[in-house]
Amino acid sequence: MPVSPLKCCINPSILSADFVNLEAELARISNADAVHVDVMDNHFVPNLTIGLPVVTRIQKVSPAPLDAHLMIRNADHWAPQFADAGLDSVTFHVEASDAPIKLARELRARGSKAGMALRPVTPVEPYLDMLPELDMLLIMTVEPGFGGQAFLDVILPKIRRARRAIDGSGVNVAIQVDGGITEETIIRAAEAGANVFVAGSAVYGKPSPADAIESLRANAQLAFAPTTVPSADFGDLPHDSSR
């Protein structure tokens, strides 16, 4: 049976948007697969952005589903509240969770896709057994906390190892990369096995964010090897509250 290609998803980060005109900025990325919302608490990372009330309001005006990336302490307490708000996807950092399997199951039970993020220094191998509990694995390609950082090529082998593990297990888990994604680095990340890409300045730093999204998507899609990688369409993953 022929193997389907990976579906490329572009999730622009509104961290690079104009927060004074955020509703208009969201309208400029209506062709995005999801809107990436960076939630930072000035504790887990040295920056402070927005909290649950603002995210809930953003969801009401967003033309695309919200993909929340929680860079916050005490994820076991806070992440389920974002799922309760109806977000499509909630990603917590494994470094901020005492019980990541329990938390992933709780997010799914509350109707959100469950994502787990790894800082650049965090190895992927200790968490491969919990892949069936996840819908997405976020591999940070910069240190979390600030936009505009350069892509860390040293992370590419980690992406490849994660892709091999996912392919070998037969689970449908997307690999997201976040940090330093440009029209050039997205090709390397896609070749390594990522299929969901967070881009901030590479989208909002262009005259037409919508055109930038399409350009990024085209570059990533061309980089995929459809005969060697299985389908992992994050956009079509079902919610299964029985898990």
Name, in order, each residue with C-beta under 8 angstroms of 181's C-beta and a sequence gap of 6 or more.
141, 151, 189, 197, 198, 199, 200, 202, 216
Per the residue annotation, which of 33, 84, 178, 233 is the catalytic one? Answer: 178
User: For residues 109 and 239, what is the distance between their CA atoms, to the nearest angstrom?
Assistant: 8
Q: Is 73 helix (H, G, I), strand (E, B) or coil?
A: coil
In the numeric block, which tokens belong to residue 192?
């390594």
Instruction: Find out whether 44 and 71 touch, Cβ atoms under 8 Å.
Output: yes
Distance CA 165, CA 66 (A): 27
Q: Closest by alpha carbon to 186, among 147, 224, 157, 148?
A: 224
Indicate if 233 belongs to the active site: no
Rounded CA separation 2/39 (Å): 40
Is 178 assigned a catalytic role?
yes
Q: How far apart are CA 228 and CA 58, in angstroms?
A: 38
Q: Which of 33, 38, 67, 135 is catalytic?
A: 38
Q: Chain-centre distance of CA 92, in angstroms? A: 10
Active site residues: 38, 178
